[in-house]
Amino acid sequence: MKKRITSLLTISILIFVFIIFYKSLNTINFYKPKSEIKDIPQFSALSFYSNEKIDSKKIFNKDKYYLLNIWASWCVPCRDEHLILTDLNKYDKLEIIGLNYKDKLENAKRFLDELGDPYKKILLDKDGTKAIEWGAFGVPESFLIYKKKVVKKFIGPLNANSLLEIEQIIK
Protein backbone atom coordinates (compact mmCIF):
# COMPACT_ATOMS: atom_id res chain seq x y z
CA MET A 1 0.00 0.00 0.00
CA LYS A 2 2.85 2.38 0.89
CA LYS A 3 4.57 1.65 -2.46
CA ARG A 4 1.37 2.40 -4.31
CA ILE A 5 0.89 5.79 -2.59
CA THR A 6 4.54 6.71 -3.24
CA SER A 7 4.19 5.76 -6.91
CA LEU A 8 0.97 7.72 -7.24
CA LEU A 9 2.51 10.77 -5.54
CA THR A 10 5.62 10.60 -7.76
CA ILE A 11 3.53 10.34 -10.93
CA SER A 12 1.33 13.26 -9.78
CA ILE A 13 4.38 15.45 -9.14
CA LEU A 14 5.88 14.57 -12.54
CA ILE A 15 2.61 15.40 -14.30
CA PHE A 16 2.39 18.70 -12.43
CA VAL A 17 5.98 19.64 -13.36
CA PHE A 18 5.34 18.63 -16.98
CA ILE A 19 2.23 20.85 -17.15
CA ILE A 20 4.15 23.83 -15.69
CA PHE A 21 7.01 23.43 -18.20
CA TYR A 22 4.59 22.93 -21.09
CA LYS A 23 2.65 26.11 -20.25
CA SER A 24 5.86 28.12 -19.89
CA LEU A 25 6.99 27.07 -23.38
CA ASN A 26 3.91 28.74 -24.84
CA THR A 27 4.48 32.03 -23.00
CA ILE A 28 6.47 34.76 -24.78
CA ASN A 29 8.70 36.56 -22.30
CA PHE A 30 10.82 38.89 -24.40
CA TYR A 31 10.77 42.66 -24.62
CA LYS A 32 9.03 44.03 -27.69
CA PRO A 33 9.71 47.71 -28.37
CA LYS A 34 6.97 50.08 -29.42
CA SER A 35 6.48 49.53 -33.12
CA GLU A 36 4.39 52.57 -33.93
CA ILE A 37 6.00 55.72 -32.58
CA LYS A 38 4.80 58.94 -34.14
CA ASP A 39 6.66 61.67 -32.25
CA ILE A 40 10.41 61.32 -32.10
CA PRO A 41 11.79 60.62 -28.64
CA GLN A 42 13.73 63.31 -26.83
CA PHE A 43 17.18 62.11 -25.81
CA SER A 44 20.79 63.14 -25.52
CA ALA A 45 23.76 61.16 -26.73
CA LEU A 46 27.49 61.51 -27.19
CA SER A 47 28.77 62.61 -30.57
CA PHE A 48 30.74 59.98 -32.48
CA TYR A 49 33.66 62.24 -33.38
CA SER A 50 33.83 64.88 -30.64
CA ASN A 51 32.44 62.89 -27.66
CA GLU A 52 30.37 65.95 -26.69
CA LYS A 53 26.82 65.52 -25.45
CA ILE A 54 24.21 66.44 -28.07
CA ASP A 55 20.52 66.93 -27.38
CA SER A 56 18.10 65.60 -29.99
CA LYS A 57 16.20 68.92 -29.92
CA LYS A 58 19.24 70.50 -31.61
CA ILE A 59 19.36 67.90 -34.36
CA PHE A 60 15.79 67.53 -35.58
CA ASN A 61 14.78 71.17 -35.58
CA LYS A 62 14.79 72.26 -39.21
CA ASP A 63 11.96 72.08 -41.72
CA LYS A 64 13.59 69.25 -43.66
CA TYR A 65 13.61 65.48 -43.80
CA TYR A 66 15.91 63.40 -41.64
CA LEU A 67 16.77 59.74 -41.90
CA LEU A 68 17.89 58.28 -38.57
CA ASN A 69 19.82 55.12 -39.39
CA ILE A 70 20.69 52.68 -36.59
CA TRP A 71 23.84 50.79 -37.59
CA ALA A 72 26.89 48.91 -36.30
CA SER A 73 30.20 47.82 -37.81
CA TRP A 74 29.56 44.19 -36.80
CA CYS A 75 26.23 44.17 -38.67
CA VAL A 76 26.49 42.48 -42.09
CA PRO A 77 23.18 43.94 -43.43
CA CYS A 78 24.46 47.42 -42.42
CA ARG A 79 27.34 46.91 -44.82
CA ASP A 80 24.85 45.93 -47.55
CA GLU A 81 22.70 49.05 -47.08
CA HIS A 82 25.62 51.47 -46.91
CA LEU A 83 25.61 52.12 -50.67
CA ILE A 84 21.91 53.13 -50.45
CA LEU A 85 22.76 55.61 -47.68
CA THR A 86 25.52 57.04 -49.87
CA ASP A 87 22.98 57.45 -52.71
CA LEU A 88 20.52 59.20 -50.37
CA ASN A 89 23.23 61.57 -49.20
CA LYS A 90 22.99 63.50 -52.50
CA TYR A 91 19.58 65.00 -51.59
CA ASP A 92 19.69 68.49 -50.09
CA LYS A 93 16.25 67.99 -48.52
CA LEU A 94 17.50 65.01 -46.49
CA GLU A 95 20.00 64.80 -43.62
CA ILE A 96 21.17 61.36 -42.60
CA ILE A 97 21.81 60.93 -38.89
CA GLY A 98 23.58 57.80 -37.71
CA LEU A 99 23.02 56.06 -34.39
CA ASN A 100 25.95 53.72 -33.78
CA TYR A 101 24.51 50.77 -31.86
CA LYS A 102 26.48 48.74 -29.28
CA ASP A 103 29.72 49.08 -31.20
CA LYS A 104 33.41 49.54 -30.50
CA LEU A 105 34.46 53.02 -31.59
CA GLU A 106 37.62 51.80 -33.37
CA ASN A 107 35.65 49.24 -35.38
CA ALA A 108 33.00 51.79 -36.32
CA LYS A 109 35.65 54.28 -37.49
CA ARG A 110 37.32 51.55 -39.57
CA PHE A 111 33.92 50.68 -41.08
CA LEU A 112 33.36 54.32 -42.14
CA ASP A 113 36.94 54.71 -43.40
CA GLU A 114 36.43 51.67 -45.62
CA LEU A 115 32.92 52.42 -46.94
CA GLY A 116 32.63 56.21 -46.58
CA ASP A 117 30.66 58.36 -44.20
CA PRO A 118 27.17 59.29 -45.47
CA TYR A 119 26.10 60.75 -42.11
CA LYS A 120 25.66 64.43 -41.27
CA LYS A 121 26.00 63.52 -37.58
CA ILE A 122 26.64 60.27 -35.76
CA LEU A 123 25.50 59.61 -32.20
CA LEU A 124 26.66 56.81 -29.93
CA ASP A 125 24.33 54.25 -28.37
CA LYS A 126 26.79 52.12 -26.42
CA ASP A 127 24.20 50.29 -24.32
CA GLY A 128 21.33 50.14 -26.83
CA THR A 129 18.85 52.21 -24.81
CA LYS A 130 18.48 54.96 -27.42
CA ALA A 131 17.48 52.40 -30.06
CA ILE A 132 14.88 50.96 -27.67
CA GLU A 133 13.45 54.46 -27.14
CA TRP A 134 12.97 54.66 -30.90
CA GLY A 135 11.22 51.30 -30.93
CA ALA A 136 13.95 49.52 -32.85
CA PHE A 137 14.00 45.73 -32.96
CA GLY A 138 17.65 45.49 -34.06
CA VAL A 139 20.08 46.78 -36.65
CA PRO A 140 19.81 48.10 -39.21
CA GLU A 141 16.67 50.14 -38.86
CA SER A 142 15.89 53.55 -40.26
CA PHE A 143 13.32 56.21 -39.47
CA LEU A 144 12.28 58.89 -41.94
CA ILE A 145 11.42 62.03 -39.97
CA TYR A 146 9.73 65.28 -40.93
CA LYS A 147 8.75 68.07 -38.50
CA LYS A 148 9.72 65.91 -35.51
CA LYS A 149 7.33 63.13 -36.60
CA VAL A 150 8.21 59.66 -37.87
CA VAL A 151 6.90 59.48 -41.42
CA LYS A 152 8.12 55.96 -42.20
CA LYS A 153 9.98 53.19 -40.38
CA PHE A 154 12.23 50.78 -42.28
CA ILE A 155 13.01 47.53 -40.46
CA GLY A 156 16.07 45.79 -41.84
CA PRO A 157 18.51 47.06 -44.45
CA LEU A 158 17.46 49.74 -46.89
CA ASN A 159 17.23 48.44 -50.46
CA ALA A 160 16.35 49.72 -53.94
CA ASN A 161 12.62 49.75 -53.11
CA SER A 162 13.09 51.73 -49.91
CA LEU A 163 15.38 54.12 -51.81
CA LEU A 164 12.58 54.80 -54.31
CA GLU A 165 10.04 55.17 -51.52
CA ILE A 166 12.21 57.70 -49.67
CA GLU A 167 12.86 59.62 -52.90
CA GLN A 168 9.11 59.85 -53.58
CA ILE A 169 8.34 61.05 -50.06
CA ILE A 170 10.99 63.79 -49.92
CA LYS A 171 10.22 65.25 -53.37
Q: What DSSP line would sit under 90-142, residue for residue?
A: T-TTEEEEEEEES--HHHHHHHHHHH----SEEEEESSSHHHHHHT--SSSEE
How much is the pLDDT for 32?
Answer: 47
Cα-flanking dihedrals φ and ψ of residue 123, to 5°? -110, 150
**Dihedral over alpha carbons 51, 55, 56, 58 (to 10 degrees):** -100
How much is the pLDDT for 109?
Answer: 96
Q: Which residues pair with 68 in a beta bridge?
A: 97, 143
Per residue of the chain (171 residues), what is the pLDDT tens digit?
778 888 888 888 888 888 887 777 766 554 444 555 678 888 889 999 998 999 888 888 778 899 999 999 999 999 999 999 999 999 999 999 999 999 999 999 999 999 999 999 999 999 999 999 898 988 999 999 999 899 999 999 999 999 999 999 998
Q: Read off the pTM.
A: 0.77
Structural domains of the chain sorted by starting position, each given as residue range(s) with its CATH number in brackets: 44-170 (3.40.30.10)
